[in-house]
Amino acid sequence: MKVTLLAGGTGGAKLAHGFAMLDGVGLTVIVNVGDDAEMHGLHVSPDIDALLYTLIGLLDEERGWGIRGDTHSAHTMFDRLGAPTWFTLGDADLATNVERTRRLRAGERLTDATAGMASALGISARILPATDDRYRTRLQTDEGLLDFQEYFVHRRQQPEVRSVRFDGVETARPTPEVLDAIGESDLVVIGPSNPFVSIGSTLELAGVREAMMATNAVKVAVSPIIGGRALKGPADRMLASMGHEPSAVGVARLYSGLIGRFVLDETDTSLAPAIEALGMAADIRPTVMGSDTDRMALAAALIETRDMLTR
């Protein structure tokens, strides 16, 4: 079965791992690149890398980014050299970013650089950056307009976000691979990722919503909000500060018209009628993906739903 998953680097990456561990799934992951930045002269793609590391079992799960057990000699030297060091890159993580930058400077598209690196790491899932063009998430906050990493890492998500915008949205285009993947899939899943900065960034690219509307795939989203809270990151606070309900219902509302089904956690069973009132089916499942077994179980449940609907 062909599955396409829209994802960021945490919740979405865990679900990608679940699909990747199942037999018979041809997985494509469309990854947010709005978080990309220039650091130490390198092209850093935090969500692509979190996905790569998750899929090869090397993500530092405690921090939620970087490689488990990585050393930090380069970071220490950057500091001695007076370079900005608020964005930490471990030594092995630095190698990933050097290699990406080398490929880009040699003229590869980000799509091909990512494919080459994923394949070298033995990853069989297709990992597609949402766009190859320059595209950057910027946040209007109570402390002014901030680049994503400035907000997320440097200011530790403390400023209150009022709105999100994407620099380059007028000219950036989704790649042909992205549009084809959505069009040719049996199942399209919007992963449990931040709906504004990890999913919204991809949906706002010209033509992606239209491709979502046009595909014959079964379309499902999984809630990143459980019991009114994000398991990690600022998604719950961003929903509230941007005027949305900080709950699974608030997320579902952002996707209404785009998907036919919404998966919410078993702790949120009472929200099912409100989800259904939005014109989508509500599927109640355990959605906390602590272990590999949890990840596979959620992915398998999504596959079963699709099988059931097309039987």
Shorter beta-carbon distance to ligand GDP: residue 163 or 183? 163
Collapse the DSSP code of 141 into the 3-class scheme (helix H, G, I; strand E, B; otherwise coil) and give the result: strand
With CB under 6 A as the contact rule, the residue among 28, 45, 114, 198 that binds ligand GDP is 198
- The Cα-based distances of 84 to 35, 123, 250 in angstroms read 18, 33, 37
Name 256's Cβ contacts closer than 8 Å, sequence gap at least 6: 278, 279, 280
Nearest approach, Cβ of residue 106 and ligand GDP (Å): 27
- Using Cβ positions, the residue closest to ligand GDP within the complex turns out to be 11
**β-strand pairing of 37-39 with 136-141:** unpaired
Nearest approach, Cβ of residue 296 and ligand GDP (Å): 13
Let me know: does 114 contact 48? Beta carbons within 8 Å: yes
Shorter beta-carbon distance to ligand GDP: residue 78 or 203? 203
Collapse the DSSP code of 285 into the 3-class scheme (helix H, G, I; strand E, B; otherwise coil) and give the result: strand
Can you read off the two tokens belonging to residue 90? 């471990």
Q: Judged by CB under 6 A, which stretch of 72-80, 169-177, 186-194, 238-246 contacts ligand GDP?
A: 186-194
Report the site for ligand GDP in 263-292 (rule: CB under 6 A).
Answer: 287-289
18 binds ligand GDP (CB under 6 A): no
Nearest approach, Cβ of residue 76 and ligand GDP (Å): 25
232 binds ligand GDP (CB under 6 A): yes
Can you read off the two tokens belonging to residue 166? 């994407």
From CA 280, how far away is CA 257, in angstroms rounded?
8
Let me know: does 90 contact 72? Beta carbons within 8 Å: yes
Q: Judged by CB under 6 A, which stretch of 36-44, 95-103, 108-116, 221-229 contacts ligand GDP?
A: 221-229
Let me know: does 158 contact 91? Beta carbons within 8 Å: no
Can you read off the two tokens belonging to residue 31? 């990854």
With CB under 6 A as the contact rule, the residue among 230, 252, 302, 303 that binds ligand GDP is 230
306 binds ligand GDP (CB under 6 A): no
261 binds ligand GDP (CB under 6 A): no
| Residues of the shown chain interacting with ligand GDP in the complex, contacts defined by CB under 6 A | 7-14, 47, 192-194, 198, 222-224, 226, 230-233, 235, 287-289
